């Protein structure tokens, strides 16, 4: 196999790009989007991505679900956590609004933060 074919396969390979529930227990909700793992720990009340704490639950203002065109032309429904101040944390995306809403509802049940639909605005 030549280098061009290898490079082409590398760049066109696709991991599962849809946000999925990796694991759920009484203490933790873990979501996966491609290679990104986001865990919501009920005991420590923190959110971790790739094993690093990114925010405590108390800093989440709301969970935002909004649509955005993907490079392939289809619409992706993104879930982000809007934090106190101007920070935000991308959790992942889903091709369907209903699935994104369901996952956002699961995050809300764990964190207690409300779910809002629509594009982020300056406040």
Residue with tokens 């969970």: 63
Please indicate, yes or no, if residue 37 is contained in any of the structural domains.
Answer: yes
Q: pLDDT value at position 10?
A: 53
Task: Residue 80: name the closest of 94, 95, 69 by CA.
Answer: 94
Please indicate, yes or no, if residue 7 is contained in any of the structural domains.
Answer: no
Please indicate, yes or no, if residue 1 is contained in any of the structural domains.
Answer: no
Task: Residue 93: name the closest of 114, 65, 71 by CA.
Answer: 65
pLDDT in tens, 27-72: 999 999 999 999 999 999 999 999 999 999 999 999 999 998 877 7
Please indicate, yes or no, if residue 38 is contained in any of the structural domains.
Answer: yes
Q: What is the mean pLDDT of residues 11-34?
A: 83
Please indicate, yes or no, if residue 122 is contained in any of the structural domains.
Answer: no
**Count of structural domains, the chain:** 1
Please indicate, yes or no, if residue 52 is contained in any of the structural domains.
Answer: yes
Please indicate, yes or no, if residue 49 is contained in any of the structural domains.
Answer: yes
Write the CATH number for 35.
2.30.29
Please indicate, yes or no, if residue 82 is contained in any of the structural domains.
Answer: yes
Q: What is the mean pLDDT of residues 94-105?
A: 95
In the beta sheet, which residues pair with residue 89?
81
Say if residues 55 and 61 touch (Cβ distance below 8 Å). no
The residue segments making up the domain with residue 79 are: 17-117
This prediction's pTM: 0.82
Q: How far is CA 2 from CA 5, 9, 13, 113, in A?
A: 6, 11, 17, 51
């Amino acid at each position: 196999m030549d280098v061009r074919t290898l490079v082409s396969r590398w760049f066109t390979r696709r991991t599962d790009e849809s946000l999925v529930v990796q694991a759920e227990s009484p203490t933790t909700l873990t979501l996966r989007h491609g290679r990104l793992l986001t865990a919501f720990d009920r005991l420590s009340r923190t959110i971790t991505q790739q094993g690093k704490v990114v925010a405590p639950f108390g800093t989440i203002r709301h969970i935002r679900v909004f649509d955005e065109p993907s490079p392939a032309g289809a619409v992706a429904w993104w879930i982000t956590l809007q934090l106190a101040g101007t920070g935000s944390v991308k959790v992942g995306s889903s091709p369907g609004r209903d699935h994104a809403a369901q996952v956002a509802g699961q995050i809300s049940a764990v964190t207690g933060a409300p779910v809002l639909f629509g594009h982020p605005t300056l406040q």
